Every structure is written in C-alpha cells, then in structure tokens.
Structure 1
Amino acid sequence: MERYMIHLKNDRYTPEHSRDVVYYARDLVADLNASVRVARIASNFVELDVSVEPEKLDLLVQKLSPIGPVDNIRHVFEEEIEKEQGIVDGIFYFNTERFWESHEAFEGVWKKCFGREKELVQGIILIAVAFAHAQRNEVRVGLGMLGRAMEKLGDSPSVYHSIDVDRIRNKTIQMQQTNNLSMFEI
C-alpha cells in the first residue's frame, strides 16, 4: 500500500467533526483494502491521511466523494528536496492550512540546518504541528506545543528568508494569552 494525503473540498465540516469524518471515511471505504488514519479539517478542505494500493486510489477517491469533491491528492514518500524549495513549500503549505505537509517540508529543511537556524526552523515546525492538532479538534495539545515553539524561536533574527519571525512570536504570545489557537499566515 502507498500513502496519500487526500484533500476534499469542505463547505460544512469544522475540526469538531474530525473524529466523525474519519469514521465516516472508514465506513465509505470499508470494502477496500485501505486505511484511513486521520482527518484534519481546514476551512476549505478535509485532509485525509490514507493508505491504499495505487491501482485502487481512483476508486477510493470516488467512494469518499460524499464527504466532498476532490481538491488534490499528494503521494507521500520520502523525497530529497533542496533547502530553498523546502522553505517555499513549507510556507505555501502553512498559508493554505496544509499544516501536516508544512511540517514535513520544514522538517526536510531542518535536516539541512545547523545551530541557531535549526532551532528556529524547529519552532516553525512546532507551530505547524500545533495547528495540525487543532484541525483534529485537539486544541489543548496544540496549545501545549506553543511554549516549546517559543523556546525554539527564542531571540532568533526577526526575518528568516521571507518569514516574519517576529510576527510568529507575537501571534504565539497572543494565542498563549487568549488560550486559543488562531490561524495566521507566515
């Protein structure tokens, strides 16, 4: 089986529906040899983390259509990517609420960093992971990650490539003070 991130267009689900959506998706594909691991709910899509034989992918997507029409599908595999492209991808995924993929892209960047830069990138990863937890209605888990993110962001430079690190720090402090995860772009 191969792993895929399937994004279905969303016009009715919220993170509170995450558990129900994953159970519904599992029921829809029960007759296939497929695995639906998790559902993350973003404002414009439902992200399903699935494994299925490649030749059954189209059928799986068809069976999932009651949840929503397909927006995109990404085959998940270990890929070697240049650091600069990883940053571009990580920003894109973060800003389109594809936080799990943002985390993965930045993790590829993190593997190529050293010293203070490595810590800074890890802080950005932790914010993406916090939001991925929020998409599963695990807000407390996400909020708990903010302190670790702030430790990693520390007093790093105010800009990292095109990322406004000061803005991330300020948003993180606001979320800690309000005890609420509120999405933002980087």
Structure 2
Amino acid sequence: MLHLKNERYCPEQSREVVYKARDLAEDMNVSIRVVRIATKFVELDVSVKKDELNTLVKKLSPIGSVDNIRHVVEEEIDKEQGIIDGIFYFNNERFWESHEAFEGVWKKCFGREKELVQGIILVAVAFAHAQRDELSIGIGMLSRALEKLGTSPSTYHSIDVDRIRKKAIEMQQKNDLPIFEI
C-alpha cells in the first residue's frame, strides 16, 4: 500500500489518477490495481518488487510525495492490537487497512461479537468505495452494516457503536458518506 500526499485530488478523480499512475509507471513491471483518494493522501494498491519500489515512488511523484508505504499481507494479529490498529486506520481515512485490521479481529470472534465487528468492517468498506468514487456502492453497504450491527451493545472496546448506527442511518437518509471517526 503506497500513500502519496494529496494536495489536489478528490474521490471523483480516482479513475483519472489510477490511469495517470499506470501511465507514469508503464515501463516498469508493476501492477497498480486501485486508487482510493482520501483528504490527506492518495492510496495506491500496488504490487512491485522491493528493489523497484524507490523507482516507482520517483515515477509517481507528479501525483504526490510519499506519505507512507506499508507492505500489506494477511497476518496473524493479536485481537486487541487489531482493534487498536483498526480504529487508527479508520480515523486516518485508511479504510481499506482498517477493514483488514478488523478482519483479523473478526477471525478471532464468535457469536454476536463476530457480527458486530463485521458491521464495523462494512462501514469501513463503504468509505473505501467512496474513496474510489463509488458512492452508491458505499451507501448500499450501509444496510448490510446496520443489519450486522443490529442491537449490539452501545460500545465495543472504545468504539461507540450507537454513534456508528446513528451515522449510518443519517448517511443513508442524506445519500452521502461524510467521514467521521470511531
């Protein structure tokens, strides 16, 4: 996952930016799968050999300077650390990584807790779709998120689940996905 500082792009430009990134790196053996655009960064889901990463970063500099690089692999993670990471990523508009962290938590849950965590994951996924200019898909995810959140307890660790439910309902009514923190 490559994060470039965002000084000018909005989610509606995600396709334009992915095409630009692919053009800038066309002479490299690299795969640029997806671009998600957040307020402070442009997130690129890329596959590149480790020894070619610096070259890729230089080629993509017209889009923005490096903010963060993270090698994302499915890993075994401590449940509590997964929750901490998931919250951090969500609150920093790194929704795909939030989804991944909470998925690690979800794998360690059972029963009602598993459904609640899945509801939180679906809200993160909704925002990840919005970052790709797929607002209608993101809004559609909210029904599933609310179904999974159900009538679960009002808090989960430090997460205000009641607030998430309220925000999801408001976003459905407004047909928009304004970002909030959990």
Unaligned stretches of 5+ residues in structure 2: none
Paired with 2:77 and 2:139, the residues of 1 have a C-alpha distance of 30
TM-score by length of 2: 0.99
Q: What SS does the corresponding residue of 2:69 show, helix, strand or coil?
A: strand
* Residue in structure 2 matching 1:143, options 131, 139, 145: 139
Structure 1 match to 2:67 = 71
Structure 2 match to 1:52 = 48
Structure 1 match to 2:34 = 38
User: Which letter maps to 1:34?
Assistant: V
Paired with 1:37 and 1:94, the residues of 2 have a C-alpha distance of 21
Whether 1:174 aligns to 2:170 is yes
Q: What SS does the corresponding residue of 1:46 show, helix, strand or coil?
A: strand
1:28-87 CA distances to partner (integer Å, 9 max, x unpaired)? 001100000010000000000000111101111111111000000000112111000000
Whether 1:85 aligns to 2:110 is no
Cα RMSD for the two superposed structures: 0.4
Post-superposition, which runs of at least 4 consecutive aligned residues in structure 1 deviate over 2 A? none
Equivalent runs, 1:106-125 vs 2, <5 Å: 106-125=102-121
Q: What SS does the corresponding residue of 1:77 show, helix, strand or coil?
A: coil
Paired with 2:129 and 2:141, the residues of 1 have a C-alpha distance of 10
Paired with 2:162 and 2:124, the residues of 1 have a C-alpha distance of 16
1:84-141 CA distances to partner (integer Å, 9 max, x unpaired)? 0000000000000000000000000000000000000000000000000000000000
Identity of aligned residues (%): 76
Structure 2 match to 1:105 = 101
Paired with 1:178 and 1:21, the residues of 2 have a C-alpha distance of 27
Structure 1 match to 2:156 = 160
Paired with 2:34 and 2:72, the residues of 1 have a C-alpha distance of 14
Q: What SS does the corresponding residue of 1:76 show, helix, strand or coil?
A: coil
